[in-house]
Amino acid sequence: MAAGGEGVRRLPATTRRGALAVGAVLGLGARRARASGRATVCLTGAADPRAALALVAARLPGDFAAGKRVAVKANFNSADPFPAATAPDTLEALLAWLAAMRPSRFVLAERSGMGETRSVLERAGVPHLAARYGLEVEVLDATGRAGWVAVRRSDLHWRRGFLLARSFAEAELVVQTCCLKTHRFGGRFTMALKNAVGAVAKFDPVDGYDYMRELHASPQQRAMIAEISTAFRHDLVLMDARRGFRTGGPEAGTLVEPGLFLASRDPVAVDAVGVAILRRYGTTPEVAAGPIFAQEQLARAAELGIGVGSAAAIALEGLDEAGRKAAEELRPFLV
């Protein structure tokens, strides 16, 4: 896309710091979290996502989303059932909770990677939920150039930067719900950081450049995944780890059932704990190898200051008995 194109702007390096400067989440404000270099990941064994969200919400301001422009990023890479995609009950619980706070704008934006986005969303029942909760649904496949913001910086591995959906770039609050999965197409795992890929354009609407072909062909794929989050807010990440894929993925794999929800405002910490869960249950050689923060997605994200920089900086906090038990079981794997 031409640098001076309509609806496009360059983001300097300082934009990342501004985009990440948000209010308190799970007891940690963004500036405070960065200053202390620590993050908390909360765990609950609640089987019902409404119960899990109630435990998380109790640790957030009551007006968390009130009056704000809220963008939701779910995981609808394909139309395959959970854990390949966001579970319907988790999405409904999340939308009901946010809608009750009356955001000024409420949008779910998505681009599927394995299927036509509109069809994927319809099969997942998203239009029905949108009508119920006053949600806008933005099908990013159909977005013209005014719907994208160009992210171009010299320190990115992307050859010409990438295009981020304007709904996310201009949101005052971004909430995402991700799944627990390995990724056999080069990402190695797909959780919070990888989920942001669905907010990036596949094709440049001006000249047709294929950003996803570049991503998947690059030996720097995992670093490039992490770099998206320099321009992507993470005000709350909810990982539905009731089930996951410990091998295979993203649309199918070897099923495992940790029976957990994870919540944090730090996507790096969430992904690190997700890797620890996969290791606990047995996973691919690539995900099992070495220190967790030697994983390239996490190493690059930490280098860029997106989240914590080490496993030692992550505190695990159980929100119920099952969560506390899981925290104790996971600590030996979080190294």
What Rg value do the Cα atoms of the chain yield, rounded?
Answer: 18
pTM for this predicted structure: 0.90
- Name the DSSP letter for residue 76: -
- What's the first-to-final CA gap in the chain, in angstroms? 42
- Tens of pLDDT along the chain (335 residues) come to 333 333 333 443 333 333 332 223 343 233 334 434 899 999 999 999 999 999 999 999 999 999 999 999 999 999 999 999 999 999 999 999 999 999 999 999 999 999 999 999 999 999 999 999 999 999 999 999 999 999 999 999 999 999 999 999 999 999 999 999 999 999 999 999 999 999 999 999 999 999 999 999 999 999 999 999 999 999 999 999 999 999 999 999 999 999 999 999 999 999 999 999 999 999 999 999 999 999 999 999 999 999 999 999 999 999 999 999 999 999 999 99
What confidence score (pLDDT) does residue 14 get? 34
17 to 154, 229, 230, 305, 307: CA distances (angstroms): 16, 11, 8, 9, 12
Task: Judge contact between 302 and 293, C-beta under 8 A.
Answer: yes
Q: Provide the b/e sequence for 253-282 (b: ≥16 CB within 10 Å).
A: beebebebbbbbbbbbbbbbbbbbbbbbbe
